[in-house]
Amino acid sequence: MSKVKTLGQFIIEKQSDFPYAKGELSRLLRDIGIASKIINREVSKAGLADILGEAGETNVQGEQVKKLDLFSNEQMIAALTVGGECCAMASEENEDIIPIDNAQSATARYVVAFDPLDGSSNIDANVSVGTIFSIYRRTSLSGPGNTADFLQRGTDQVAAGYVIYGSSTMLVYTTGKGVNGFTLDPSIGEFCLSHPNMKIPNGGKIYSINEGNYVHFPDGVKKFIKWCQEEDKPSKRPFSSRYIGSAVADIHRNLLYGGIFIYPTTSTSPKGKLRLLYECNPLAFIVEQAGGKATDGFGRILEIELNSLHQRSPLFIGSTEMVERAEEFMSKYSSVELKN
Ligand code: AHM
Ligand code: MG
């Protein structure tokens, strides 16, 4: 047998990192892994939807053809509901939480927040999309979970991860003890450890931001972008601009190569676009665990108080040196009033 280590094997091995764990967290991660394989199967057939479906309504089995983000949402909900380790879910696709009211959920200890298919506007163009998830211990004592179970700070996350459906499919996660990445081997249907102990370079040469919104950016961001574009040999500027428009894909690339991703406040979106609970917090937890930094331009993402499920936040995330440089520009040229 080769040295390949599957996600399942890795999770079982790592369970001993949590001496009081009863395996529930491991089972939750396994359930998410299963949902993501089903999502992957459908995402990889995205271009076939029209020819398999009848007027886009039904597929070849006569089933309803669903939009992939709704399909992904259903898969995550189904996997976590039957898994029995989770007492409530929160999803980008659902206004309210989804409490789980069954025999196991009464004693289940976790809640899971997720964005089932982030960047889904890219899907028809065959561009990478992702699933993002974040796991918390419930704060309620029993029964189905409630909204208050989710209103915790990012620092309270027990695990977080993302799945990127790209040129290959990868699952990257952390339980607060470093970051590990697994690539799906389609021939055996297993996520295999391919990127152990991921570390983001301290500096980088890539900045990722939707520059089309330039006129709406805070001055600090405008000045930072101009600084990235200046010629300066010692700091290897000008930097490269790379923007996919799928946060998972942009941040994953920067995690590997070094760089910064920014989705700031804009004059049209004064709180930013991305959501704290199931986009910013899990991505921030992963990037910090990989040695990087994530802020809202002024302070640490993971310490922001969460008051509502779909609360937005600006996000500056990536290589520590680059995020700190952007923060310098923010504190010099932008008002802290822009803060969340
Ligand atoms: P979504 O959750 O509706 O897919 O939106 C989130 C996505 C992120 O993945 C991406 O970084 C951002 O929206 C792109 O937004 P924009 O098109 O404004 O640049
Ligand atoms: Mg999203």
d(CA 127, ligand 2 centre) in Å:
15
Give the pLDDT confidence score for residue 3 in this predicted structure.
82
The answer to whether 160 and 135 have CB atoms below 8 angstroms apart is yes
Whose C-alpha lies nearest to ligand 1, atom 16? 245
State whether 46 and 191 are in the same domain.
yes
Q: Return the pLDDT at 172.
A: 97
For ligand 2, a single-atom ion, which residues have Cβ within 5 Å? 115, 118
Ligand 1 near 210 CB (within 6 A): yes
Query: For 309, phi and psi rounded to 5 degrees?
Result: -55, -40
Q: Report the nearest-CA residue for atom 6 of ligand 1.
A: 119
Residues of the chain scoring pLDDT < 70: 1-2, 17-22, 49-66, 336-340
Residue 53 confidence (pLDDT): 43
Give residue 173's domain range: 7-195
Same domain flag for 187 and 245: no
Which atom belonging to ligand 1 lies closest to the Cα atom of 210?
A: 19
CA distance 48 to 51: 5
Give me ligand 2 centre to Cα 279, in Å.
6
Any atom of ligand 1 within 6 Å of the Cβ of 247: yes
In angstroms, how far is the first alpha carbon of the chain from the final one? Answer: 52
From 176, 195, 214, give the residue that closes a domain.
195
Ligand 1 close to Cβ of residue 273 (< 6 A): yes
φ/ψ of residue 22, rounded to 5: -105, 15
Gap between the Cα atoms of 130 and 126, Å rounded: 12
164 and 239 co-located in one domain: no
Q: What is the pLDDT of residue 301?
A: 98
Closest among 245, 256, 36 to 161, alpha carbons compared: 36
Q: What pLDDT is recorded for position 143?
A: 85
CB 106 within 8 A of CB 147: no
| 160 SS3 class | strand
pLDDT of residue 338: 52
Ligand 1 centroid to Cα of residue 204, in Å, is: 22
248 C-alpha vs ligand 2 centroid, how far in Å?
9
Q: How many CB atoms lie within 10 A of CB 44?
A: 13
Do 187 and 232 lie in a common domain? no
**Do residue 182 and residue 217 come from a single domain?**
no
Could you tell me if 176 and 254 lie in one domain?
A: no
269 in contact with ligand 1, CB cutoff 6 A: no
How many structural domains does the chain have? Answer: 2
Strand order in 315-318's β-sheet?
240-241, 206-208, 260-263, 315-318, 293-295
